[in-house]
Amino acid sequence: MDYDLTIIGAGWAGFNAAIRAKELGLKVCLIEKSQIGGTCLNLGCIPTKTLIQSAKVFLLTKKSHTFGIEVTTPQINFLKIQERKDKIVAQLRTGMQFMLKGIDFFNAKADILSPQELKVDGKNIKTKFMLIATGSKPIEPPTLKFDGKKIISSDEILNLKEIPKSLLIIGGGVIGCEFGSLFSALGTQVSIVEKMPQILPGEDIEIAKKLEIVFKKKGIKVNTNTDAATVDLSNFDLALLCIGRTAQTNDLGLEKIGLKLERGKIIVDEHLRTSISNIFAAGDCTGKIMLAHFAAYQGRIAAENIAQPENLKQADNINIPNCMFTDPEIASVGLNEGKINKFDFLGSAMARIIDETEGFIKIISDQKTGQIIGASIIGPRATELIAILTLAIQSHLKISQIQDTIFAHPTLSESISEAVRINHGI
């Protein structure tokens, strides 16, 4: 079988690349050894956010009296929560499968024999171009191993049959904070240990500090500057080890063909081409920004560069929103240094209406030009609001242009216009 493009990995990068390549007229083969949708659909974005939504409904029901609604004590049916999560994942997986019409899909392991040939499910495949989009996996340090019972990964915690009474989270990054927020809402006693001076290392310091304060109000124990080796694991029912993710590039045969790697990640140029001219790579396996929407972007760029070599595009869009579905939500985009305009959700009518006033919006602009160059949000619907500011940065808008825009009232989005009013600049 001969193809113009063979893609290994049907996660967000590989799937979007396959769809785009088909649109551009290429004969495409897509290979996935596990399940279509990759980490995002099966072990990441979708299942975690589905569980988080159930936790949000539970918390809202618990405080329904605040809104003048009296209900009997709400109860958690964790198995039904898990069933709902599995159903949504399955529905989305079926939808993705349907979209692959016109693309040959192999649900099997790929072995790369040469830059132009692979072996899949006992069949030899010849290809003009190859795209590697094999994603990432949880980091497992040599001193602390997953055992699937006491010490589990972010993959395994998604399939628990019952809610743990106590949970130690090793690693206070995005994954750790999301799961900490989730299980705390479900009644688990959560403790987070983070080796760095703040949770959410690399995130805006003020945002990270605010989340830590909120977590402590909720009864989540947060210990920064703490090595997990100093913690007695026997004090907890479970320990979630989530100190990051690493590129998934083993067992492909990359060594045999001499493709260059750096600490397991695939080295690519600005056009996503690897050290072998007809092989490209996209998504987490390149070790760059490990976000599903960035992987999708890379996948589309790679497909376009393969199909249209006379018009190569650089995968250089740095306006990448980063979203965290903690409670409260957090989102950021662009730079975090410059002139700061800030608005606290305490001043938002809609935030008070929905009873979610914790948090603030920070909008960063260039001191000289007034152009918006970054934003950070912690508070209600932060993951939705950041889209407005991402578009503002992408469109090179200035603070004055947001000031001149009429936002509907009462909405959370009008907090953005409030933040940029002159009297809020600091």
* The two structure tokens encoding residue 274: 């690897």
Distance (Å, whole) CA 311 – CA 117: 26
In terms of Cα–Cα distance, which of 47, 46, 39, 48 is closest to 12? 39
Phi, psi of 187 (to 5 degrees): 105, 0
What is d(CA 8, CA 34) in angstroms, rounded to the nearest whole number? 11
Instruction: Report which of 107, 106, 127, 131 is spatially closest to residue 117, judged by C-alpha positions.
Output: 127
Residue 409 is a catalytic residue = yes
In angstroms, what CA-CA distances link 12 with 22, 46, 96, 162, 175? 16, 12, 10, 30, 18
Cα angle 325, 331, 334; round to 5: 150
Q: Which of 271, 293, 409, 424 is catalytic?
A: 409
Phi, psi of 319, deg, nearest 5 = -85, 75
List residues with catalytic annotation. Answer: 409
